[in-house]
Structure 1
Amino acid sequence: MNVRKIVTLVEETLTEGGRPVEPNARVAVVAAVIENPWRGQGFVEDLTAGIDEAASRVGEVLAPRVVKALGGTVEAYGKAAIVGLDGEIEHGSALIHTLKFGDHFRNAANATTLLPAVEKRGPAGVTFDIPLKHVTDATIRSHHQSIEVRLADAPHPGEIVIALAAASQGRPQQRLAPLSTEQ
């Protein structure tokens, strides 16, 4: 796995709707810009070798960094794979939709649910939103949120941006009733 760079972003919301957010709502994102393991190979029928080469390693690099950047307990989380223009969306999906990748974050966050995800192909500087959901119950509405990310120089055509996002709480000032009230 060839990593060109790692980017860490932390967003802290202090007020929402004209009211203080207490405690402040934190969301952290850590993204690795990696060389696409299938770069220059044409259509690859079996993606196993690239998955084995990179998925676990990139999960192992990102998971502890995003938890550390958040600086507290992870209550919501998500992931992203943004493929450069010379790759396939399936290349990004292959890396993040495997337990070899996701279990690193689930274990670091003491989580049990599947990680919500976004995958897309785009040029350097493409904007993408990482969806987040509660780490143990995806039906908890207060934790359904997203964070917008943009890396000015990534992904290059032969790269993939792999990112993890973690939130310290649900949406600031959330007021929706629990899903169970509508069932």
Structure 2
Amino acid sequence: MSLVKVRKYKLDVEEIRHEGGPVLARPLRVAVAVAVVDNPYAGRYEADLLPFMAELRQLGAELSSRLIAALGGADQVEAYGKGAVVGEDGELEHGAVWHEAGGWAMREALGQPKAIVPAAKTIGGVGTRLAMPLGHIHAAYVRSHFGTADMTVWDGPRRGEIAFGLAMATGGRVHARLGGLAAADVVGNDGLR
């Protein structure tokens, strides 16, 4: 019997044309996919969370697939991030299972980019808003791609649930102009430069 029981999915796509400066020729698109699932460990301590983490890989693959389709293909994705909001009867470690499961799934779907997938997690109630950090998929030092994607579900997570989210974006911040390593200059294979 599966440990992953999904109550609902949510997909948001934001299109940003400008932030007070010139209108972009190609708008930035930021997509967030969320699944609200039962927390199989709500209200109790479980020493071994690895089976849950392993099963969540399939959920990560599903959310990644939805994001890639919403953004027009894997070749359009330049930034990513992940997050989890654990309902009040859970613990932060129940959200931490998403680090490996969600990150693995996005890397697999995007052709194995090397940069770390930035993450945020918290304990919260229904409607908790989480700002998931974003970073460039190939190099962590591309500061133009440091951003956030908002994750919220109006009716979740409930006390015995977890909201797991993934985010992808087609570029960096609109009107980024603070220098540093440019996305076009990434040459390394270690996720750094």
TM-score normalised by length of structure 2: 0.86
State the one-letter code of the partner of 1:61.
E
Consecutive unaligned residues of structure 2, counting only runs of 5 or more, are 183-193
Listed as ranges, the matches of 1:1-183 within 5 Å are: 1-40=4-43, 42-52=44-54, 54-72=55-73, 73-94=76-97, 96-98=98-100, 100-110=101-111, 111-178=113-180
User: Secondary structure of the residue that 2:165 maps to in structure 1?
Assistant: strand
Cα distance, 1:39 vs structure 2: 2.5
**Greater share of residues in strand:** 1
CA offset digits 1:19-71 (Å, max 9, x no partner): 2022101000000001112134x11122123223x321211211111111122
TM-score normalised by length of structure 1: 0.90
CA offset digits 1:133-161 (Å, max 9, x no partner): 00000100110000222211010111111
CA distance in 2, matches of 1:127, 1:177: 30
CA distance in 1, matches of 2:129, 2:102: 23
User: Secondary structure of the residue that 1:124 maps to in structure 2?
Assistant: coil
Number of aligned residue pairs: give it: 176
Query: Contact 1:83/1:155 (CA < 8 Å) preserved in 2?
Result: yes
Query: Contact 1:38/1:50 (CA < 8 Å) preserved in 2?
Result: no
CA distance in 1, matches of 2:117, 2:15: 22
User: Secondary structure of the residue that 1:15 maps to in structure 2?
Assistant: coil
User: Secondary structure of the residue that 2:176 maps to in structure 1?
Assistant: coil
Distance verdict in 2 for CA 1:33–1:135, change over 3 Å: same
Cα distance, 1:12 vs structure 2: 0.3
CA distance in 1, matches of 2:30, 2:150: 11
CA distance in 2, matches of 1:28, 1:3: 20
Cα distance, 1:101 vs structure 2: 3.6
Query: Contact 2:88/2:123 (CA < 8 Å) preserved in 1?
Result: yes
Between 170-179 and 117-126, report the one with greater CA deviation: 170-179
Q: Percent identity?
A: 40
CA distance in 1, matches of 2:147, 2:52: 31
CA distance in 2, matches of 1:135, 1:65: 18
